[in-house]
Amino acid sequence: MIFEQHYLDCLSQASYFIGDESTGRAVVIDPRRDIAPYLETAAEHGMTIELVLETHFHADFLSGHLEMAAATGAKIAYGSVAETEFESLALADGHRVELGEVVLEVRHTPGHTPESISIVVWESADAEEPYGVLTGDTLFIGDVGRPDLLSSRGVTSEDLAADLYDSLHDRLMTLPDSTRVYPGHGAGSSCGKNLSSDTWSTIGVQRTDNYAVQPMSKDAFVAAVTDGQTAPPAYFAYDASLNRENRDLLDESSRPEALELADVIFRQRMGAIVLDTRDPNEFAAGHLMGAINIGLAGRYAEFAGGVIQPGAAIVLVTDDGLELEAKIRLARIGFDNVVGYLANPIVALADNPEEVSRSSRVDVAGLTAAMADIDDLQLVDIRQPGETDGGIIEGAITIPLTRLNERIATLDASKPTIVYCAGGFRSSIAASRMMAAGFGDVSDLLGGYGAWEAAV
């Protein structure tokens, strides 16, 4: 058996390639949208990808099932509860995919979503114990999938949590302790609240260490897994719907069009978002007026999905040579409308100072002075609820960055505003989004809440 986990750090997302060396037949599970790594693995081992298996309709990324099918002729399959606009196979609970010696067994494990499945991997049909189980977003390392992402679709989080309890205890924790657990996500994902940085474990370790599968009543479980979840990025509903639909395919080899500054400004005035992907300090030193700063060094696509509306036209500003990466990473969440990038940004901005703005970044001393001297100072904490539970700066308004778009109108754009996060990266995103929305006086806190705590 060829078994590979492909882990994407920037989205904390795991996908899998499983092949049978005796037949050369292979399956890809939960592929990301830029599919070149799976094709390279197949070519390396002389295998043919025949099937794309999806554990559920993903909310946090746009899956590459359509790209895989177009590139390889593979069929697409889900659990039989799922309904898709495109042609797909509906696999019943207990269905077995036989690649040769390697066998994959489908287990319906609803809870994170109604159609969620897990996939038990057997190295041979007569193996006494399974090699592992791909748990999608049902069971994570140290956590379980959140059951609240479909509350807007008329499915209550309590009902899904009850289903999740049954799936865990009746379908997964019945596996032998030696069974390896390969989840769909790791630490940093918004699909759970307590995910480990480990990318695999075993059923036995999870039985001991995972809070969510300890002995407890169903009611206690429902309360435990619905409490304290982070605010998911606003794009989750968009991706969950798009993953069911026919849509355009990603061309992961073509760079966006190079645009001169005048064309960028014209497109911006016509409604395009100028997305500056440079480091926050570089952005602060000089950027195109109205640009939003989301650095490529962080959880770029996820943050973009929190402050940019799906479907918006986007013009990129990047360091040289990073235009294609910036485009592909947006495409991983279905933000495909990249209309170009600013050619030679350093020269373009230097030659047109009238189009350049600088950001205000204050240190703790500056914030302390502002709090003492400015009566109507608006202080905004854009961390997640789990972070703010540990304390906030007195008087701060809490709005998670992932929900800033929908709540920005609740802030007063006329007031002097200082924004902070944990360390100073996300606050640059929020401050730039506010400035683009017409806030007149916005600064962000260098070092974030960590610097404030250390100083007081």
pLDDT in tens, the chain (456 residues): 999 999 999 999 999 999 999 999 999 999 999 999 999 999 999 999 999 999 999 999 999 999 999 999 999 999 999 999 999 999 999 999 999 999 999 999 999 999 999 999 999 999 999 999 999 999 999 999 999 877 546 678 899 999 999 999 999 999 999 999 999 999 877 777 778 889 999 999 999 999 999 999 999 999 999 887 777 888 999 999 999 999 999 999 999 999 999 999 999 999 999 999 999 999 999 999 999 999 998 899 999 998 999 999 999 999 999 999 999 999 999 999 999 999 999 999 999 999 999 999 999 999 999 999 999 999 999 999 889 999 999 999 999 998 898 899 999 999 999 999 999 999 999 999 999 999 999 999 999 999 999 998
**Rounded to whole angstroms, how far apart are CA atoms 280 and 297?**
10
Residue 178 and residue 131 share a domain: yes
Segment holding 454, helix H or strand E: helix 448-455
How distant, in Å, are the alpha carbons of 97, 98, 102 from that of 125? Answer: 11, 8, 7
**Rounded to whole angstroms, how far apart are CA atoms 399 and 411?**
10
Residue 252 lies in a domain: no
Residue 382 and residue 342 share a domain: no
Residue 195 and residue 314 share a domain: no
Residue 53 lies in a domain: yes
| SS3 state of residue 201 | strand
Residue 344 lies in a domain: yes
Residue 198 and residue 112 share a domain: yes
Residue 160 and residue 285 share a domain: no
Residue 384 and residue 321 share a domain: no
Residue 338 and residue 215 share a domain: no
Q: Which two tokens stand for residue 204?
A: 């036995």
DSSP for 283-335, written as a single string:
HHH-EETT-EE--TTSSHHHHHHHHS-TT--EEEE-STT-HHHHHHHHHTTT-
Burial class (CB in 10 A: 0-12, 13-18, 19+), 376: exposed
Residue 366 and residue 305 share a domain: no
Cα four-point dihedral sign 268, 273, 275, 276: positive
Domain end, chosen from 242, 268, 297, is at 242
* Residue that the structure tokens 């990324």 belong to: 61
How far the first Cα of the chain sits from its last, in Å, is 57
* Amino acid at the residue 356: V
DSSP for 35-63, written as a single string:
-HHHHHHHHHHT-EEEEEE-SS--SSS--
* Residue that the structure tokens 């989205």 belong to: 11
CA–chain centroid gap for 213, Å, is 25
What pLDDT shows up at residue 187?
84
| SS3 state of residue 219 | helix
Domain end, chosen from 322, 357, 392, is at 357
* Amino acid at the residue 350: A
**Rounded to whole angstroms, how far apart are CA atoms 66 and 31?**
10
Model pTM above 0.75: yes
Residue 329 and residue 421 share a domain: no
What pLDDT shows up at residue 233?
81
| SS3 state of residue 384 | coil
Q: Which strands form 180-183's sheet, in the order they lie side by side?
A: 96-98, 103-108, 117-122, 132-136, 180-183, 201-202
What pLDDT shows up at residue 154?
67
What pLDDT shows up at residue 400?
93
**Rounded to whole angstroms, how far apart are CA atoms 27 and 77?**
10
Domain holding 412, by residue range, is 360-455
* Angle between helices 65-72 and 36-45 in degrees, nearest 10: 40
Residue 438 and residue 379 share a domain: yes
Q: What is the DSSP letter of 79?
A: E
Question: Checking phi first, is residue 238 left (phi over 0); if not, alpha (psi -120 to 50) or beta?
Answer: alpha
Q: What is the DSSP letter of 255?
A: P
Does residue 267 contact residue 340 with C-beta atoms inside 8 Å? yes
Quick count: other Cβ atoms within 10 Å of Cβ 180?
A: 17
- Side-chain half-sphere CA neighbours of 421 within 13 A: 17
Burial class (CB in 10 A: 0-12, 13-18, 19+), 264: buried
What pLDDT shows up at residue 431?
97
Residue 319 lies in a domain: yes
Does residue 292 contact residue 309 with C-beta atoms inside 8 Å? no
Residue 303 and residue 213 share a domain: no
Tell me the chain's radius of gyration from C-alpha atoms.
23
Question: Checking phi first, is residue 431 left (phi over 0); if not, alpha (psi -120 to 50) or beta?
Answer: alpha
**Rounded to whole angstroms, how far apart are CA atoms 419 and 448?**
9
Q: Give the pairing type, strands 103-108 and 287-288.
A: unpaired
- Total tally of structural domains belonging to the chain: 3
**Rounded to whole angstroms, how far apart are CA atoms 301 and 332?**
7
Residue 50 and residue 183 share a domain: yes
Residues, the chain: 456
Q: Which two tokens stand for residue 417?
A: 């505003």
Cα four-point dihedral sign 410, 398, 230, 297: positive
CATH assignment at residue 372: 3.40.250.10
Domain end, chosen from 302, 334, 357, is at 357
Quick count: other Cβ atoms within 10 Å of Cβ 218?
A: 13
